[in-house]
Amino acid sequence: MNLRSFQLSDCEKVTNLLKEELSDTCYKKTIRVFSKQLSYDSDLVVIAEDAQEVVGVIIGSIENNQGQYILTEHPDYERNDIGKNLVNELKERFTQRKVEIHISVNTVKFKKEQEYDAVGL
């Protein structure tokens, strides 16, 4: 597995991952955040890839000097530390920007009708 910054060629793969894994309501909100973040600072969008396939994405944003994020991973790659590695990579990028790191927890509903905690920095 490789972590790297978002590239324009990732757009379709990331969009498909978000659409497949998120509920319609969550997808609509996330895609707006994703689009907005790409126009501000695409370096805060980090991709996890395996064999050139996008298997996870973390979309970071900064509001009032506080870091926040949305994390999505492909279900076949859950429990492989992808989420943990993406969070650590984004924390490093926030630290480079001297952004305060705060943790908040929100519940996000996925298509699988399971509830997961979405953690924001």
Over the stretch 48-94, which tens digit does the pLDDT of each residue have?
A: 999 999 999 999 888 888 888 888 999 888 888 898 899 999 999 99
Mention every residue, 6+ apart, whose C-beta is less than 8 A from residue 59: 30, 33, 34, 37, 44, 45, 69, 70, 71
- Strand pairing of 104-109 and 66-73? unpaired
Q: E strand or H helix at 55, and its extent? A: strand 53-63
For residues 57 and 106, the model is more confident at 57
In the predicted structure, residue 115 carries a pLDDT above the cut 50? no
Measured on CA atoms in the order 59, 95, 115, 48, is the torsion positive or negative? positive
Show the domains of the chain with their CATH numbers.
2-120 (3.40.630.30)
21-30 average pLDDT score: 88
Residue 48 confidence (pLDDT): 96
pLDDT > 70 fraction of the chain, expressed in percent and rounded: 83
